Structure 1
Amino acid sequence: MTDQIAPTGPRLNETAPAFDALTTHGQKTLEDYRGKWLILFSHPADFTPVCTTEFIAFAKKQDEFAALNAELLGLSIDSHYSHIAWMLNIKEKFGVEIGFPIIADLNMAVAQAYGTIQPGASDTAAVRATFLIDPEGVLRAMVYYPMTAGRSVDEIHRLLVALQTADENKCAMPENWTPGDPVIVPTPATPDAAMARIEEGYDTVDWYFSTRSL
């Protein structure tokens, strides 16, 4: 009998790890975001080029996230003052103002809770991880990127729209779904329901694969 390895870090569809942390907008807790979606994203370090491009992209899309009832919150294990200096530098050098808070996590408490310290990548920096937390504080999606490749902020926005649309319409989303595309109808759960599916008016390829327009 082999030993089972218990999963570490946060898990999908469970309550996201609580935090109480100093940010560039004052002290913030997970509970502060109750009633809104939270996009919590970690980056390896301030004053690094890939992270700078990501923060610029998040800042430019902040209003679009806000329109979806979503707040942005950055995280790295740099100091509070490093975050402030970096934000001012981005504004001076790139003309972009970072309007969302960044957690200072020198003791790595938040990074450890969210599993963003990956020894295979680095023992001293958080990898590029993004967590989508719903208004009830439940972790709904996690996306991890390596140190050397910047994440797609457009994809994170698309993922949030897909999650919200799936919740609202009790459906699932096909590969690369965007608004206006057909959605997937839940698969029948019984033989009788499977037999009846062809008559239910959906675009049905087979009993297990049906789509519909919203």
Structure 2
Amino acid sequence: MLDLQDMRTDYMRGKLDESTVPSDPYLLFEQWFSEAVNSEIKDPNTMLLATTGEHGQPNIRAVLLKLFDEKGFVFFTNYNSVKAEEIAHNPKVAVEFLWLELERQVRILGTCEKVTTRESLSYFMKRSRDSQIGAWVSDQSSVITSRKALQMQIVKMKEKFAKGDVPLPDFWGGYRVIPEQIEFWQGRPSRLHDRILYTKEAEEWRIERLAP
């Protein structure tokens, strides 16, 4: 058995005060995200997405944030995947960004909905051709016989789309997480962390400090 009781870190890098944060959480997220990018954190747009299946079993995986604005946080996936099936059953989701190098977390509770086909196409056309082919080939989450079978499908699709642009698959596109709550967590010494919670109320955001 591994004894992990002595593994601990005292967080010292920053602080967060509810009296000085912006009234709009998207402005604070943009600031934190920019600082994560500038700190050269690997894949700072990685976010953990938690969903719930029809039997109440929580499920979690990492996806990549590809767009955020005042409407929400957007990622892209196969609409036949397990995550898509779970979102269809229960659109309530949880999201977390973890930037340990900055001793920060952002936690989001909200509702997930599909973006428009136009938004999906706009992003799809910006992907590399190989990634576009990959979207057609991967029947995400399904069982496959071997890696070789997957590679054979790639060859077939490259032949099929040898001429012209690769079209957007009708089973692939984006989801937008529309936040109801956004919590910003800044590590502090002695586990007395700063936690600032934004809660959406009509068109405004209520700001509260949470106990560590």
TM-score where L is the length of structure 2: 0.25
TM-score normalised over the length of structure 1? 0.25
